[in-house]
Amino acid sequence: MTHSAPPVANPLLLELPQELVGPRVVARPYRDGDGATLAEAVAESRERLLGVDMPWVKEWDDPQQGAIFVRRCQAKWAARDDFLLGMWDRATGTYLGGVGLHRIVWTVPSVEIGYWIRTRFEGMGFVTEGAALIAAFAFDTLRAQRVRIRCDAANTRSAAVPRRLGFVHEATLRNERRRSDGALQDTLEFSLVPDEFQALRQRAWRALLAPA
């Protein structure tokens, strides 16, 4: 039997960091005033995000969506219901995309990582670093016993992130959901548990978690 830390007694009492800092990425909760920057990034990336079946992009046709989204993120962060962070380039201060922890089960605790990157920064390794930072936050601060990443099997770029980080590919869930166009989708499920995370932190993730 694997020995583990006890579950979090009351998530509202957790002390949370104001930012997560890696060599190239700063990830932090959204603040008032971030809405316009977010809207610009979503508009730039709209067609690509729709192409990988992220229908939430359509909500951003509303010019007020940026401010609304930021307030929702702040409320969920305060309630410990969801942890949505923006990613910024440390060198330039440019907004890169988002990373978050979702579907939190506090009795374990377990969480699911989600992420997206604006089109002009795709393929540059920012998502990999952001995912490593927020996974470390889940294990270190939230005492997570399971951190998972799920993605459409057809989304090869998204699936490359957990593979690159050393997550365990647990399953391919065949015909697991329907895409917004009605086509059936296979879903890949990857996960890490604490012992695996600690081993990766000492080796493969050292460069991703240590600010330069």
State yes or no: pLDDT of 1 exceeds 70.
no
Helices 126-140 and 194-202: crossing angle in degrees, nearest 10, is 130
Domains, in order of start, for the chain: 17-209 (3.40.630.30)
Q: Residue 18: its pLDDT value, please?
A: 94
Q: What is the mean pLDDT of residues 58-73?
A: 94
pLDDT of residue 211: 77
Query: What pLDDT does 7 receive?
Result: 80
Spatial CB neighbours of 47, under 8 Å, sequence gap ≥ 6: none
Q: 87, 130 in Cβ contact below 8 A?
A: yes
pLDDT at 2 over 70: no
Distance CA 141, CA 15 (A): 8
Which pLDDT score, from 0 to 100, does residue 54 have? Answer: 86
Mean pLDDT of 150-172: 97
DSSP string across 80-117: TS-EEEEEEETTT--EEEEEEEEEEETTTTEEEEEEEE
